[in-house]
Amino acid sequence: MSSAPRGMFISLEGIDGAGKSTQLRMLAEHLGAQGHEVVQTREPGGAAGAEDIRRLLVEGEPDRWSPETEILLFTAARRDHLERTIRPALADGKIVLTDRFADSTRIYQGATRGDLRALVDDIHARVIGVEPDLTLILDMDPSAALSRGLARKSGEDRFEDFGLAFQEKLRAGFLSLAKDNRERCVLIDASRAPERIAADIADAVNMRLS
């Protein structure tokens, strides 16, 4: 990344309930044990203003916002996240691990809630202009992931409330994304025990670091 040549930017992506938060934490522990300085963050969120926007996006009724409004809100949160958290950490040579980044907007709003991918990509190019160095896409059966996500009862289940058909569209979108971006994206089987998933993720990251 030209804006941050000394750090490394890694995103974890996938459908709701795929285990991204758990794997991000395990990856941070693995990298920390190797002596790397790691910043753990998330989207939407990761900075004070972005966290305020997060509550607007992940709480409430499914039809609270149109897809176009969601794109603008997510991008506003992402810009704050980029300015205040991601770029400073990368400039300091740290490894930034984020639970979601722009790929989620490409899939959630751009590919599953209307034919808006071109709009998402145009706004991203104009306002964000950054891609992760490595994206780990956690893949698993949507029905199992949805059950896990709803069981959390986190209060942040607006997208889970769209139902199974929506999660199935999301999975198809992420699989297509992985196929179209092989240099950046690594597909991880997230249906296994957390330790086995973490081992594959560690291998993928170690290979990129080397």
* Spatial separation of the C-alpha atoms in residues 22 and 188, rounded to whole Å: 14
User: How high is the pLDDT of residue 161?
Assistant: 72
Tell me the pTM.
0.90
Q: Where are the domains of the chain?
A: 8-209
**Cα–Cα distances in angstroms (integers) from residue 197 to residues 54, 171, 189, in the given order:** 28, 18, 7
Tell the residue number behind the tokens 């808006």, with chain if given: 116
For the segment 127-145, what is each residue's pLDDT rounded down to a tens digit? 999 999 999 999 999 999 8
User: What's the CATH architecture for 8-209?
Assistant: 3-Layer(aba) Sandwich (3.40)
Cα–Cα distance list, 178 to 38, 61, 89, 129, 184 (Å): 25, 30, 26, 19, 8
Kindly give the parts of the chain with pLDDT less than 70: 1-6, 148-157, 160
